[in-house]
Amino acid sequence: MLDDQQCDGIMVFFPDPWPKKRHHKRRLLQADNLRLFVKKLKAKGYLHIATDWQEYAAAIQQEAAKVAELQIMPL
């Protein structure tokens, strides 16, 4: 519903980690969705993600690494 390059930033706070392996396909923060978020961001826009589950944080970083347009900031 948002036009491309419309958002200054997108914030995702504590998305459901879907911890069981068979449910990982339901995770919000996968490469395809991250690419969609990037399309909606203005130049120099930001994507802020917060989670309190270390394993999910590592999985998000792996997915973000697949998106060339994202610059990953250290934790």
Residues annotated as catalytic are: 16
Other beta carbons within 10 angstroms of residue 38's beta carbon come to 17
| Cα–Cα distance list, 3 to 23, 37, 39, 45, 75 (Å) | 30, 11, 9, 14, 30
